Amino acid sequence: MLCGSYVAIVTPFSGGEVDWDTLAGLIEFQIAGGTSGILPCGTTGESPTLSHPEHDKVVEFVVEKVNRRVPVLAGSGSNSTAEAMRLAKHARNCGADAALVITPYYNKPTQEGLYRHFHKIAAGVDIPIFIYNVPGRTGVSIAPETVARLSEIENIVAIKEASGSLDQVSGILSLCDIAVFSGDDSLTFPVICDGGVGVVSVVANIMPDEVAEMVSLANNGKVEEARKLHYHLYPISKALFIETNPIPVKTALAMMGKIKEEFRLPLCPMSEPNRAKLEEVLKGYSLI
């Protein structure tokens, strides 16, 4: 399971509630498109505004609907170590294959605090753990040296690296052999060329087959073919981040007729100028 294109799947809403039928349809769309794994309750899944019961139910629902066809990487992060452990235990108990655990946001722990956070969760829950580093969201970045220390723990198996820094990726891989997944779609190809193994993707929500193919080509040494797909995907990789994720990708899915265009505050609909830009890009890919 430690390679490929994982989709950070959106959480569709209808009338303020999770739209379960639509979520089931999105799961089938992903599996049919060749996605390697599915991540529910990540940032793209609007996890900060899901209640704890909703979060648990979304993970349970995805595990049930996927039915072992691909791995499920359950979002299990919190700025409370105890809460993150609870979420990871729930992920394990309901049958998820791994847990994605973000660096604690707002607290701004030291590197020693980060080490102890992940160490405690890994020691307390028998499930493979992906570290999630996204300093633009959390206000803290985990150092390559801390990642290397954590990689010595048996069930800390991968990192989703979304710092936007290839230097960070090189730093990690120069110190240990943990599996590195890109957390930035526009950097997936460079990350794999640097020794990474895949992506946890936003773009895969709308183009699962192309993202999966690009990652597969890169992982199998077909660099020039992968490079062509990288440049093909680059415009949409940038367009889906012209406003805060997941606003653009949910808007795109709505334009494609796959979900209702509904968010939870404080996220809100796109500005009209950015909506027009996104629509133009989607038309260029014949998605709408």
Residue that is written with structure tokens 């460079």 in the block: 190
Residue 154 has pLDDT above 90, yes or no: yes
Residue 107 identity: N
Q: Position 237: which residue type?
A: S
Question: Token pair of 130, please?
Answer: 């992906």
For the stretch 22-34, pLDDT in tens is 999 999 999 999 9
Cα→Cα distances 215→66, 158, 184, 218, Å:
21, 17, 13, 5
What does the chain come to in residues? Answer: 288
**Structural domains of the chain in order of their starting residue, each with its CATH number:** 4-220 (3.20.20.70)
User: Which amino acid appears at position 279 of this protein?
Assistant: E
Band of residue 5 on the pLDDT scale cut at 50, 70, 90:
very high
Confidence of residue 271 (pLDDT cuts 50, 70, 90): very high
Q: What is the mean pLDDT of residues 108-120?
A: 98
Which pLDDT score, from 0 to 100, does residue 2 have? Answer: 85
The answer on pLDDT for 1 being more than 80 is: no
Residue 270: the pLDDT is 98
Mean pLDDT over each residue of the chain, to the nearest integer: 97
On whether the CB atoms of residues 22 and 29 are closer than 8 A, the answer is: no
181 pairs with which residues across the strands? 160, 198
Instruction: Provide mean pLDDT across the span 75-88.
Output: 96
Q: At what angle do helices 20-32 and 208-219 cross, to 10 degrees?
A: 40
Q: Which segments of the chain does DSSP mark as H helices, in order?
A: 20-32, 52-66, 81-94, 111-124, 135-138, 144-151, 166-175, 188-193, 208-219, 223-239, 247-255, 272-284
Please list, in sequence order, all residues whose beta carbon lies within 8 angstroms of the beta carbon of residue 152, skipping any fewer than 6 positions away: 176
Amino acid at 96: A
- Give pLDDT tens digits for 233-244: 999 999 999 999
The yes-or-no verdict on residue 214 having pLDDT over 80 is: yes
CA distance 57 to 152: 32
Summarize pLDDT for 155-170 with one digit per residue, the tens: 999 999 999 999 999 9
pTM to 2 decimal places: 0.95
Print the SS3 string covering 157-222. EEEEECCCCHHHHHHHHHHCCCEEEECCHHHHHHHHHCCCCEEEECHHHCCHHHHHHHHHHHHCCC
DSSP 3-state assignment of 78? coil
- The residues, ordered by sequence, that sit 6+ positions from 231 with a Cβ below 8 Å of its Cβ are none
Q: Rounded CA gap, 41 and 44, in Å?
A: 7
Residue 93's pLDDT is: 97
Buried b (16+ CB within 10 A) or exposed e, 47-67: beebeeebbbebbbbbbebbe
Q: Which residues are catalytic?
A: 132, 160
